[in-house]
Amino acid sequence: MKRLTGKVALVTGASRGIGRGSALCLAEEGADVVVNYRSHPDDAAEVAAAITAMGRKALVHQADVSDREAMEAMFEAAVSHFGHLDIVVANAAMSVRTPVIEAKWEDILRTIEVAQFGVFHACQLAAQQMVRQGLRGRSAGKIIIISSVHQVIPVPASAAYNMAKAAINHLGRTMAAELTEHHININVINPGWIDTPGERGYYTEEQIAEGAKKMPWKRLGTAEEIGKGVVYLASDDADYITGSTLTIDGGLVVSLSYSV
């Protein structure tokens, strides 16, 4: 039997990149999936079609994660449609890359609203629903936060994004401490440099290819590799893991050192 048979997952920002990879990997392991998107409806429909082709059910729902009312409506729709919610992946994020002294306040605020507050909305609403449901099998639910190695590496021109990622890592640990009595597992994944459509907004294909050569693994990570980490943390295999951070970066962080 697949590890997530009978489970329902909700993935924010599931139309592209890491969200897409996570949604597809969850479906491959037997989960039905709520596919959240903000501005790529065709991509979201493609993800849903791929999920149904696996024999699983998909619900596509548009919502901006920074909009609290829209998020509440999405969670209500998910539970109304499927009857319960077992896994939530707080993935949606954004970044406007500008040095601090040149940054526009509206870009800083928007980044924080999505990458930090949007994660808070998803995690809080997920936890509230899971507490209401109580134990379903060995767990009351699994919440996985997609953060970044940016939470430990002060990447230039990404101050607001770096701030947001550091904040959501601590959010994950805090919620894990608060929710152990309810047997809700909350863990964080820190991806490294992952090959996603979003990277094309900052770099050319040539720059990405050259950058990949400098990575410890001599390549970028894939969305599927992050998705497999999500599946593990969402499964009973990770039942005794909460408040932890799984770094999937091909050795990027540990390879950073000063040379003499």
Residues with a catalytic annotation lie at: 161
**Quick check: 210 and 147 in contact, CB under 8 A?**
no
What are the strands of the beta sheet with 245-248, ordered from one edge? 58-62, 32-37, 8-11, 87-90, 141-146, 184-191, 245-248
Q: List the beta bridge partners of residue 189.
A: 146, 246
Residue 127's contacts (CB-CB under 8 Å, 6 or more residues apart) are 141, 143, 175, 179, 182, 184, 186
Please give the structure tokens belonging to residue 247.
């770094």
Q: Using DSSP, state whether 61 is helix, strand or coil.
A: strand
What is the Cα 233 distance to its own chain's centre? 12
C-alpha 218/C-alpha 50 separation (Å) is 30
